[in-house]
Amino acid sequence: MRGGLSTESIGSTSGISEHTNRLFGIVNTTLEPDHSTLVRRAAVSDGDTIADFARAFHAEDNHPLSDAGMAGLLLMLEPGFPEGVVLLLEIDGAPQGYGVLSFCYGYEHGGPETFVEDIYVVPQWRSRGFGQILLAALEDEARAAGRRAIHLEVMPGNRAENWYRRQGWQSRGSQLLTKPI
């Protein structure tokens, strides 16, 4: 139990590694007790929903998602995709957000790492604890995948930076620089 939240693996399908196929049954005991919440691995059949959420997130964060980026995101929904995972947040049985982990290797932390590429909750459900549930599920997924560190990028001025810090995230005092190759 962490901060009034309990996560439990409630399902598994053969053929896909256990860590990328779990359903997280989230018992939300303190934040929104009247709403059922489920975080699960997104499937190919969730592609349109994930695409809509990704477009909304990237537009809101002022960095549009390219066609190649969208294709890469949708590829992550394929069964057995080994380089990351997309989780879908459902509230009262309806999709209301998503989170994306991309796996990598880094020697500074002694082995496998991951990046939180996206975390998005639709506006009507924000500031009610559902982002915390989704972030906890992403962190649990990273641990289950054997990752030793988890990183994320926050755009300058994004109000979520303070929220991340309250969840235990810290700045390394460096900037993430990117060069397409």
Structural domains of the chain in order of their starting residue, each with its CATH number: 5-166 (3.40.630.30)
Cα torsion at 136, 120, 99, 160 (round to 10°)?
A: -50
pLDDT value of position 177: 81
The label of the residue with tokens 């900037």 reads 175
Cα dihedral 140, 100, 58, 175 sign: positive
- For residues 43 and 77, the answer to whether their CB atoms sit within 8 Å is yes
Tokens of 41: 């691995």
SS3 129: coil
pLDDT value of position 178: 82
Tokens of 134: 């989704």
Q: What is the DSSP string of 8-61?
A: EE----TTS-GGGT-EEEEEE-SS-TTS-EEEEE--GGGHHHHHHHHHHHHHHT
pLDDT value of position 120: 96
pTM: 0.81
Q: What is the mean pLDDT of each run of 10 residues along the chain (181 residues)?
A: 31 32 45 83 98 96 92 97 97 97 94 95 95 95 95 84 88 84 88
Tokens of 98: 């998503």
pLDDT value of position 58: 93
SS3 140: helix
Non-local CB neighbours of 21 within 8 Å, separated by 6+ positions = 11, 12, 13, 41
Give the separation between CA 146 and CA 139, rounded to whole angstroms.
Answer: 11
pLDDT value of position 14: 27
